[in-house]
Every structure is written in C-alpha cells, then in structure tokens.
Amino acid sequence: MTRVSFYILNGIQETDRQVFACRLAEKAYRQGNHVYIHTENADHAEQLNQMLWSFRADSFVPHQLTNTDNNDASPVLIGHSTSPPRLMDLLINLSAEQPLFFSQFERVAECLNDDENIKTAGRQRYRFYKQRGYELDTHQISL
C-alpha cells in the first residue's frame, strides 16, 4: 500500500516548497528511484523544470516535462494534468488536490507550508488518505 509523507515547511514562500521538492527529487533519484512531480498547472510545471536546473550549483537531476517527446527515459518527470507515462516510485505532489493516480506509487510526498490555502488543502488531503487507511507520517521542516 502507498505510504504518504507530509512535509510541512515553515514560511509561506512558494519557492521554498519548490526547492524542497527539488531536494526530495534529487535524493530519490540518487537512491535509484523514478520520481513524478505533480504540479498545479503548466506554468508551475515549467517553473519547477527551471528550478531543477538551478536549485543547487553542484546538482544534476535528469528530468523532463511530461508533455515532451521521449519522456519515458528520464528518471524524473514533471507534469500537471495526466498520470505519468509509466510506473514510478515516488510522487511529489505540489497540487492542491491529490491526483487520482496517486495509489500507483509506492510513496507520496505532500509538500506544504504555512500559507493558509496550502495548509487547508493539505488538511483535506490528509483526511482523505487517513479515511482510506493509508500509512501516514508527518515531518516538520525548518528552512
């Protein structure tokens, strides 16, 4: 069964959530996992695409947007409106809702911060997962 982790960052900056998602993707990639980062929309996906190139000077995380050709080869994919084109290990969710396809992943990482809208949506997702019996854990992250 899918394991769901909630990462709660202090602060309200969206860029902090994006950088944290990049760090999670990098760690998972280095451990040999395939990662799908689910974003709110195409603009958000493109922001994350650019962030993965620049969030750390000494980092390289091979990635692609799902709307590009030949995205089956990349270990990290970024998308917003559809499920990934293949089975992957980790879903990093930056969207306000849990994607319908979340249960195909071994792990789901929900990235929240202190923004009231993000926290409220995160609480709804937490209740959704809990009511369905998913294993949940929560991590407070200080930046």
The pLDDT tens digits for 106-143 are 999 999 999 999 999 999 999 999 999 999 999 999 87
In this prediction, residue 43 carries a pLDDT of 96
The pLDDT tens digits for 58-114 are 989 999 999 766 656 899 999 998 899 889 999 999 999 999 999 999 999 999 999
Is residue 19 over pLDDT 60? yes
Parent domain of 8:
3-141
| Domains identified in the chain, total number | 1
CATH number at residue 57: 3.40.50.10110
In this prediction, residue 72 carries a pLDDT of 66
DSSP readout, 58-114?
T----EEETTSTTTTS-SEEEESSS--SS--SEEEE-SSS--TTGGGSSEEEEEE-S
